[in-house]
Amino acid sequence: MKIDKQLGIVLMAIMLQFVTSLKAEKSSISGFPIIAYSHETKLMGGGFLNYLKQTEKDSLANELQITSLLIYTANKQFQILSIPRLKRNNGKYLLGMDVRGRNWPDKYYGIGNKTNERNYEKITQRQFKLRLDGDVRLYQALYGGAKITLINEELKKGDRESLPYTENFHGINGSQTYIGIGLGMRYKTLDNDQYPGRGLNHTVSYMQFYATKHDASKQSFGQLDVELNHYLPPLSGVVLAMQSSFTYSGNQPPYSFLPELGNRLRAYDSKRYVDNMLIAQRAELRVFPAELPFCADIDLLQRGFFRRLGFVVYYEAGQVAGTEKEISWERNHYSAGFGIRYSISVLPRLNLRADFAFGEGGMNVIIQGGEVF
């Protein structure tokens, strides 16, 4: 993402944070307010809140986690979400929910891997989303599950008519409701779900969506997702995290359902490159100095702020395509950068992250709770 010339290379965020822990039967509440600035959103404010409760009954561990986020920007972009997660019987049963609403003025650059940044049309997405999912351990580290999604959205055009083919959008200047039903398989050997230090997390899922109103767009469409995550600990306090991902949306899905390269490569806006197919690879080195073997006797690193402080460096590559025949190494976009981590909860570890990403022609800053993958 390009930075305004008048601002130069700022994009520095002011992070005000607080941590509150309410100890009662292994329960805690952690949160922080955020004040940040980016080219896409201008000044942005919001808050992150995480509730965690752990219980044990008949030697079986249960865990309830509720993560909530609120964002409002100077461009009048608004989003609120809440994601409850429940683990039962030592993780044999996993139940989840994702509830979110957004009103998001944005830019439409067209579809493809080589769109022109200067050629765009303004659109606004209003969306409400509800997703329910459940997984059960089938055998050792193998899980199977199902999910159902309800989405109501409206896409409205702005006052710039440089790209009139947005007329083909499903739901332009009118609302549309989609119902999605899906199945998935997961192979998971992680030592920790919040901040994995070792193990695999391989998932394959398929969702079939149905539009409740029919127009020029297709009545139904599907989406296949494959994600392969691998975590290696070269030594204590260091984790090498790697990810390969593939997404395919078939049968001419609506624009808002197309895979977004910016969701994988941190240097790009989410809608900068979109198409039917996405493939991406990422590698990230994560370090918490206080946990390094040769830092165990350094008193400063074992107390307070420095005990919770960490750093990352990462490299990412990926592309979008209309068909598999278009995919080639030369079409990849790249993103690289570094980040700062602060653990608002140490056991289990939950991080506040600030990532500085550099790509083709610009940079981006992301401030969020939790790791990218």
Which CATH number is 250's domain given? 2.40.160.50
Whether the ω angle into residue 253 lies within 30 degrees of 0, i.e. cis, is no
Q: Are 344 and 352 in contact (CB under 8 A)?
A: yes
**pLDDT digit string (tens) for 116-171?**
888 888 889 999 999 999 999 999 999 999 999 999 998 887 755 544 444 455 44
| Average of per-residue pLDDT values in the chain | 86
Q: Are 320 and 274 in contact (CB under 8 A)?
A: yes
**pLDDT digit string (tens) for 236-268?**
999 999 999 999 998 888 888 999 999 999 998
Q: Are 223 and 245 in contact (CB under 8 A)?
A: no
Structure tokens at 283: 């590698």
Confirm whether 300 is domain-assigned: yes
Angle at the Cα of 358 from the Cα atoms of 119 and 369, rounded to 5 degrees: 105
d(CA 184, CA 138): 12
Give me the number of domains the chain comprises.
1
Structure tokens at 296: 């165990």
Confirm whether 201 is domain-assigned: yes
Residue 342 pLDDT: 93
> Where are any strands of DSSP class E within the chain?
27-38, 42-57, 60-73, 78-88, 93-108, 121-139, 142-157, 175-188, 199-211, 220-232, 238-250, 277-287, 309-321, 333-345, 350-359, 362-369
- What pLDDT band is residue 172 in, cutting at 50, 70 and 90? low
Confirm whether 21 is domain-assigned: no
321-345 average pLDDT score? 94
- What pLDDT band is residue 366 in, cutting at 50, 70 and 90? confident
**pLDDT digit string (tens) for 36-52?**
766 677 788 899 898 98
Confirm whether 22 is domain-assigned: no
Q: Of 48-57, 240-249, 338-347, 350-359, which one has max mean pLDDT?
A: 240-249
Q: Which domain holds residue 329?
A: 27-369
Confirm whether 1 is domain-assigned: no
Confirm whether 19 is domain-assigned: no
Confirm whether 211 is domain-assigned: yes
CA dihedral sign of residues 270, 272, 274, 280: negative
d(CA 180, CA 237): 41
* Nearest CA among 107, 34, 44 for reference residue 73: 44
- What pLDDT band is residue 369 in, cutting at 50, 70 and 90? confident
Residue 116 pLDDT: 86
**pLDDT digit string (tens) for 279-326?**
999 999 999 999 999 998 899 898 889 999 999 999 999 999 999 999
Residue 215 has pLDDT above 80, yes or no: no
d(CA 280, CA 315): 11
Q: Which of the two residues, 3 and 216, has the higher pLDDT score? A: 216
Confirm whether 13 is domain-assigned: no
Residue 174 pLDDT: 67
